[in-house]
Amino acid sequence: RALTPAVGPARDVDGFVRQFLRELNYTQGVPLSRSTLNDQYLALARTVRHYLMQGWIRTGKRRRDAGDKVIGYLSAEYLLGRQLDNALLAAGLEDIAREAMKECGLDVDLLRSQEIEPGLGNGGLGRLAACFVDSLATMDVSCIGYGIRYEYGIFKQTFEDGRQVEVPDSWLALGSPWEFPQPDRAVQIDFGGHTERYTGDDGRERTRWVPAWDVQAVPYHLLVPGYRNGVVNTLRLWSAKATNAFDLQLFNQGDYAEAVRAQTFAENITKVLYPEDSTPQGRELRLQQQYFFVAASIKDFIRHTLPADFDLHRLPERIAFQLNDTHPVIAIPELMRILVDEHDFEWDEAWDVTKQCFDYTCHTLLPEALEVWPVDLLGRLLPRHLEIVYRLNEDFLARVREQFDGDEVRARRMSMVQENPVRAIRMAHLATVAATKVNGVAELHSQLLRDKVLPDFSEMWPDKFTNVTNGVTPRRFVRIANPGMSELVTEAIGEGWLTDLERLRELEPFADDAAFRERFRAVKAGNKERLRQLLHHRDGIDLPEGHLLDVMVKRLHEYKRQSLKLLHVVSLYQRLLSDEVDPESTTPRTVVFGAKAAPGYFMAKETIALINAVAATIDADERVAGRLAIAFPANYNVTLAETLIPAADLSEQISLAGKEASGTGNMKFALNGALTIGTDDGANVEIRQLVGDDNFFLFGMTEPRVAELQAKGYVPGDVYASSPRLKSAIDFLASGEATGGDPSRAAAVVDDLLSSDRFMALADFDAYVEAQEKVEATYADTEAWTRSAILNVARSGFFSSDRSMRDYLDRIWNVSARS
């Protein structure tokens, strides 16, 4: 009998039904007639999983046999979104599954909507990681995504009296059909204790780490299927488990409860995702998470993925670890420790290997977002790693002094150790020194990274720095999210564009085809209808029909300037209430907000409450009914994005220039035929260059202008005093007229804008309103608008994450794709 991997169920409706019923009966343990929707969803998910297993087994074998270099993507976050839709698409089983469910008297769409998305990330960075692993599988590149299996992902947002209330997201509660636990491949992770010097058998002075406690890291693997290519890569997510189920000492002393408590302590490490994405607090548990998952990943790679007795001097031939921001940077001293302390490498030899194994991607420009770890904390948790970082820093600073004539000021600036306000390790400096390549995530960001964030480093190593502009996966964000448009595109230009997105260019001539424009509009109208249905059922929100749909969805942060959008809404409201304009002459508009605030971020939470209060006021005001509406559905997530983005007409990308590293939502909107109103920031710059100025509403200060204004001293009160429209909007807000007569609702946000306005929303207000007037004028010309929308789609193929991955392969990993 040939011991080949299982072939999976037959790829027809019959085979699918059979497997589905088997899953329902034997795994869920219920007959169809007694099964709940959740039973049916789980059985369906497991059925689809069956079809992927052969691909997973074969892919693994092929990669091991070939000894391929692996991309080890190290990311604390993967914001995956629902798995079933993507698995069905990748496996080419959508039609079969639909038919099969129908034969069972079930509705595949209803079952799909049962899935709770694994929200194992905060926002852009986590979603980017999910897009990247999708693209690498589709391009048949060997990649293992390493991360954390948080028991609770990003919180579920609810509103109480318009204020954000966080509810834990128990995505595992109803069963997790997509993961495979591998408890037999658990590894031990050490923490705490102290270090000791000793003399080895060979007479050499050595160091050993004597840890104080440890936990087990249990891997769970998830499938990452390529698009219709039979490739299935792996995501390895680590879960913490107590090493000894019971502390026997305590147990024997009769303190059973204390013994169990110790277990809980260890298992806390992967309990919850930190819901912060911009001003990280130096929390001990967060550092534990970071070390926990990178130490487990490196150990696992060396022990289980590399052949036994592999010569670690050749490690860089087999792995390129990509550091997704600084969150996994503790991997650098960890690899040094393994090579020097456990494998007897000389220091310089170990450093040479380590440097070749890491590349670093920076995702921010905000100084407060750069991670630093206080040395007392690091020393307590990872004493050996702190020593290693100190030694690396000494060597590094010696080089700096040598190269720059003992320039002490420069050495202090570049040091991996910050002295004030507390002694702490600058993770970005450590990453930059170690990495072979350092990249930013959009052209402008990479430029600013070189010139402003890490100028000394780019002077020292100009070739180390590069750019890779972000991208998004067209499988999820075009094909799954927008089936109507996908079909239309295929009809127009044929198949193949989904894995070669630049081919969307072939749509350009269709922008001038009136019949095509008509159909394109019909698709958009259908998408809006789908959104109306969803918001009605999901949130009890009834969107008006026939409005310009103006969408701002992203994390709530001052630099992204939701407050600027809100001021514009208030100004529109005022215009409708004034006698100066005939309401009938204005463009009916619905503004949709979606945003989660970090739970401890006061101003962000105040902004949410204010938006909700203004929305309620406008909603209750008969005078503007049919002309202006604000909707703020709670709990914006990947799943909502998939329905919201394809329905949008206008994409709001209005961060202060120089603050948004890239943005990726901006790309999703353009690819779905929304026009962008945006600042010269992040990837907006490249979107505008590609789609053309005529098809993009640019406004606001450029980054150099922002820097200039900052330097000369920005006074928001002066802007307020000199712009009548702005003054009027702010006064209106402050008076409580936009918040149901309650001025206290607006106080915190208004006070902040008038007194500090760190992100210069007021300075860009007039330009923003003018650009919005251009939006209205263009929207009034339906054909011109549709033409622009089509051109946005046709010219945004560059923003496929397949292209991003090709750039990483060429510029950073020196690996080639098979397709």
What residue ranges bind ligand 26Q (CB under 6 A)? 122-125, 128, 274, 276-277, 280, 286, 327, 363-364, 369, 371, 441, 470, 660-664, 682
| Interatomic CA distance for residues 216 and 190, integer angstroms | 9
CA distance 523 to 312: 55
Could you give phi then psi for residue 235, rounded to 5 degrees? Answer: -110, 125
For residue 600, the 8-state DSSP code is: T
Q: What are phi and psi of 754, to 5 degrees?
A: -80, -25
H or E element at residue 749 = helix 744-755
Of 273 and 460, nearer to ligand 26Q (C-beta) is: 273
58 burial level (CB within 10 Å; 0-12, 13-18, 19+): middle
**Judged by CB, which is closer to ligand 26Q: 587, or 664?**
664
Sheet holding 372-374, edge to edge: 372-374, 424-426, 417-418
Instruction: Judge whether 345 and 311 are in contact, CB under 8 Å.
Output: no
- Please give the Cα distance from 757 to 761 (Å, whole number): 7
Sign, CA torsion 678/683/685/691: negative
Residue 675 Cβ vs ligand 26Q, minimum distance, rounded to whole Å = 20
Distance of CA 504 to the CA centre of its chain: 25
Distance set, CA 23 to CA 91, 101, 165, 174, 220 (Å): 18, 13, 38, 16, 21
By beta-carbon proximity to ligand 26Q, the closer residue of 571 and 800 is 800
Provide the minimum distance between the beta carbon of 516 and ligand 26Q in the complex, in angstroms, as a whole number: 32
The pair of structure tokens assigned to 87 is: 């698995």
Q: Name the token pair of 791.
A: 């051109």
Q: Which residues are catalytic?
A: 363, 554-555, 560, 664, 668
Q: Least distance (Å) from ligand 26Q to the CB of residue 450?
A: 17
DSSP sequence for 80-105: ---HHHHHHHHHT-HHHHHHHHHHTT
Long-range contacts of residues 489-498, Cβ cutoff 8 Å, at least 24 apart: 489/793, 492/516, 497/797, 498/227, 498/474
- Helix, strand or coil, per DSSP, at residue 375: helix
Question: Residue 702 CB, nearest distance to ligand 26Q (Å)?
Answer: 17
393 near 414, Cβ under 8 Å?
no
* Residue nearer to ligand 26Q on the CB measure, 75 or 612: 75
Q: What is the CA radius of gyration of the chain?
A: 27
* Shortest Å distance, C-beta 321 to ligand 26Q: 18
149: nearest Cα among 278, 266, 289: 289
The least CB distance from residue 679 to ligand 26Q, in Å, is 13
Nearer to ligand 26Q, 285 or 620 (CB): 285
Is the Cα torsion angle 696, 699, 704, 707 positive or negative in sign? negative
Residue 122 CB, nearest approach to ligand 26Q (Å): 5
How far apart, in whole angstroms, are the C-alpha atoms of residue 241 and residue 253?
23
Q: Which is nearer to ligand 26Q, 39 or 558 (CB)?
A: 558
Residue 625 φ/ψ, nearest 5 degrees? -55, 135
Task: Give me 260's structure tokens.
Answer: 């169990």
Nearest-angstrom CA–CA distance, 75 and 385: 20
State the nearest-atom distance from the C-beta of 377 to ligand 26Q, in Å.
Answer: 13
- Other CB atoms within a 10 A radius of the CB of residue 235 amount to 27
Nearer to ligand 26Q, 42 or 125 (CB): 125
User: Judged by CB, which is closer to ligand 26Q: 388, or 661?
Assistant: 661
Q: List the one residue out of 1, 21, 19, 23 whose CA is nearest residue 11.
A: 19
Nearest CA to 646 out of 541, 525, 543 is that of 525
For the bound state, the minimum distance from the C-beta of residue 121 to ligand 26Q, rounded and expressed in Å, comes to 8
| Least spacing, CB of residue 768 vs ligand 26Q, in Å | 20
Across the strands, what pairs with 697? Answer: 677
By C-beta, is 612 or 801 nearer to ligand 26Q? 801
